[in-house]
Amino acid sequence: MNRIKVFPGILLLLMLLLQIPALAQITLPSLIQDGMVLQRDARLKIWGWASPGEKINITFNGKRASATTAADGKWQATLPAMKAGGPYTMVLKGRNTLTLKDVLVGDVWFCSGQSNMVHQLSRHHIAYAEDIAAANYPQIRHFWIPTTTNLQGPAKDLSAGTWKTANPEDVNEFSAVAYFFARKLHKQYRIPIGLINASVGGTPIEAWMSEDGLQDFPDAITAIGRNRDTSYVNGLNRKAAAAAASNRQKPEQDKGLTGAVTWFDTAYVPKGWQNINVPGYWEDQGIRDLNGSVWYRREIEVPAAMAGVPAMVHLGRIVDADFLYINGKQVGHTSYQYPQRRYSLPASVLKPGKNVLVVRVLNTAGKGGFIPDKPYYIEANGQTLDLKGTWQYKVGEVCPPAAGGGGGGLNAQNQPTALYNAMVAPAVNYAIKGVLWYQGESNAGNPGAYKKLLPALISDWRGKWQQENLPFLYVQLPNFMDVNYLPSESNWALMREAALETLKVPNTAMAVTIDLGEWNDIHPGNKKDVGLRLALAAQKLVYGEKKLVSSGPLYQSAQVEGDKIRISFTDTGSGLIAIDDEELAWFAIAGEDKKFVWAKARIEGDTVVVWSEEVPQPKYVRYAWTDNPFGANLYNKEQLPASPFRTDR
């Protein structure tokens, strides 16, 4: 057999060559790219990766910085602070050269929280159509961080992301709250504004905190350690999947789809359908505890002027999923309950005279159907057709309840540190002006813990960004759910109190939104005023406008005066008012027994005097202490609402 001879010297050379890594190129983290906004008046960390020992030189806006790559392949350089301006070009040179263009220097805000911070302008394209069309602000830029999780520890970099400017196309991807905040500040101060958005719907505050920040919360620390065990996590998910499969009973096939003629077909002749009102839940209209599908059908007369032209169908909100058919064609579908149903119709869909609308609604838990107090109509050619009223319905599918539990798997995005590790930690080297935070709905089940968690998050992030007084602006939860016309306890009121008490943390500010919510929508449509109130808070707290009235009245103290209690406030501005010129509403009073009753209240200067003939010896007062104090009317003359409060905390 032939053998290849290798001389010892050549062998040694080959071995040495095999130990030499390929020459690495300079690579940069996702945030550092063309079009980025850098923080003014702050030392700027620029970092990345290259070959160990490689020298990196940076030039930017007449400034220079350099670094030598460490053994682990990471380098970091620091540029000196500079004033707002741009666009500039940044050049990075090592073994290769990178050139970053269109770089601005201004104020960068880190925006985070859950779905109400997520909600993009595209979700509100009808309400804010003019704002979207007028978006021509090349110095307002937004970096959207994709949803990712990491249970093992802080990631080195974000998964992806691109800086985009505020133009009529790209602004649709901006957080609506963050955009209106940025637009106000940009117009006011004529500086570039950068928005880094790390927010995920339905997530608890613990997911956004680091392991260091959760040290005082033993349950979270236990969960962090447990979740690092991938065999545990994988086993849990496999077990949950197996349990779900074994418990799953095959539902009855949907009769509306399996018959000789489908129920949305124009050839279908309806038989055995019953009347039902839209909007409304079917459980409230004669269908008891049904999980499955219910078909809705209605014939409408379309005038000639609305036919043969593009149209829009507004179907409010539906719990949970829906399929819309018009004249036998599917024209819309949404898979979950939260989005507003707005379906665009091509010109060919509506015809003059009779048109048949069919909606297949699927629901798996709770009440199903059409949520009340939402828009239900068709619009075309400047005219509208009301869709509220009597429809016909028929049950198409019944899903029997599963036999037993089985439990769910591990939802990573709800686990302690999971979102911090993946979506926040990679950004903490990036200098920022401050934080915008809109979150809390997912923690409303335990408001007592939130009173500790929110200040802990602030301290945690300030430590990670190494900014002891990093400005932190947050949104107090709005009014939501049914109006309760009796004094009652409320977790949402306790969550608002947690936010109010967090103002004790220095360099924080709160936007009160008790008047901006909707009873039937955890995602209220008014995002503009939320952003503008955050901007007001920033103007006073961060931008030095100390005389600006940036908040509504905030509870300060209470004084018992005989059979009355006098409440004093801060942030009264030009004076207290009832915004609707009616008697003050939503004040309750109690004696030592804490049995609250509705009270009379009147404004006296910068105070409110509260009393009730039913409580001759009063001790405590509450204001707007309920899930949804609709019509709470105590404001200052700057038309900013008072925060809910209680004196018996």
CA dihedral 313, 315, 319, 322 (to 10 degrees): -20
pLDDT at 239: 83
Across the chain, which has 649 residues, the per-10-residue mean pLDDT values are 44 40 79 98 98 97 97 97 98 97 98 97 94 98 98 97 98 98 98 98 97 98 95 86 62 86 96 96 93 96 97 96 97 94 96 98 94 96 97 93 63 96 98 98 98 98 98 98 95 98 98 97 96 98 97 98 98 98 98 98 98 98 98 98 96
Determine contact, residues 214/416, Cβ cutoff 8 Å.
Answer: yes
What is the Cα–Cα distance from 578 to 639, expressed in whole angstroms?
10
Closest CA to 148 of 421, 344, 336, 393: 421
- Amino acid occupying residue 289: D
What is the Cα–Cα distance from 361 to 61, expressed in whole angstroms?
58
pLDDT at 486: 95
What is the Cα–Cα distance from 493 to 483, expressed in whole angstroms?
13
pLDDT at 403: 53
Neighbours of 563 (CB within 10 A): 13
Determine contact, residues 18/33, Cβ cutoff 8 Å.
Answer: no
The torsion region of residue 416 among left (phi > 0), alpha (psi -120 to 50) and beta comes to: beta
Token digits of residue 79: 């540029």
DSSP string, 616-632: SS--EEEES-SS--TT-
pLDDT at 600: 98
Token digits of residue 451: 């009173």
Sheet holding 554-561, edge to edge: 554-561, 564-570, 607-611, 600-604
DSSP string, 295-306: EEEEEEEEPGGG
Can you list the positions of beta strands (E) in 114-218? 137-144, 163-166, 193-199
Closest CA to 387 of 474, 311, 444: 311
Token digits of residue 75: 């380098």
What is the Cα–Cα distance from 177 to 534, expressed in whole angstroms?
9
pLDDT at 237: 85
Burial class (CB in 10 A: 0-12, 13-18, 19+), 280: middle
For the stretch 57-87, what's the b/e string if a residue is b when 16 or more beta carbons lie within 10 angstroms of its beta carbon? Answer: ebbbbeeebebebeeebebebebeebebebe
Q: Strand, coil or helix: what is 487?
A: coil
Closest CA to 535 of 461, 624, 433, 464: 433
Looking up tokens 């005389």 gives: 547
Closest CA to 397 of 276, 260, 277, 249: 249
What value, to the nearest 5°, has the Cα angle with vertex 302 and ends 297 and 304? 160
Half-sphere exposure of 316 (CA within 13 A, CB side): 23
DSSP string, 581-619: SS---SEEEE-TT---EE-EEEEETTEEEEE-TT-SS--
Axis crossing angle, helix 176-189 with helix 528-541, rounded to the nearest 10: 40
Neighbours of 211 (CB within 10 A): 17
pLDDT at 4: 40
Can you list the positions of beta strands (E) in 150-290? 163-166, 193-199, 274-278, 280-281
Its sign, for the CA torsion 594, 599, 605, 606, is: positive
Determine contact, residues 196/33, Cβ cutoff 8 Å.
Answer: no
Cα of 200 vs its chain's centroid, Å: 6
β-strand pairing of 97-113 with 163-166: unpaired
What is the Cα–Cα distance from 448 to 498, expressed in whole angstroms?
8
Determine contact, residues 196/145, Cβ cutoff 8 Å.
Answer: yes
Could you give phi then psi for residue 272, rounded to 5 degrees? 75, 20
What is the Cα–Cα distance from 49 to 446, expressed in whole angstroms?
43
β-strand pairing of 620-623 with 321-326: unpaired
Burial class (CB in 10 A: 0-12, 13-18, 19+), 588: buried
What is the Cα–Cα distance from 141 to 404, expressed in whole angstroms?
50
Residues in CB range of 109: below 8 A, 6 or more apart: 178, 181, 182, 193, 194, 195, 196, 432, 433, 434, 435, 436
- Amino acid occupying residue 512: V
In terms of residues, how long is the chain? 649
Token digits of residue 78: 């620091």
Determine contact, residues 56/45, Cβ cutoff 8 Å.
Answer: no
Determine contact, residues 484/588, Cβ cutoff 8 Å.
Answer: no
Determine contact, residues 155/422, Cβ cutoff 8 Å.
Answer: yes
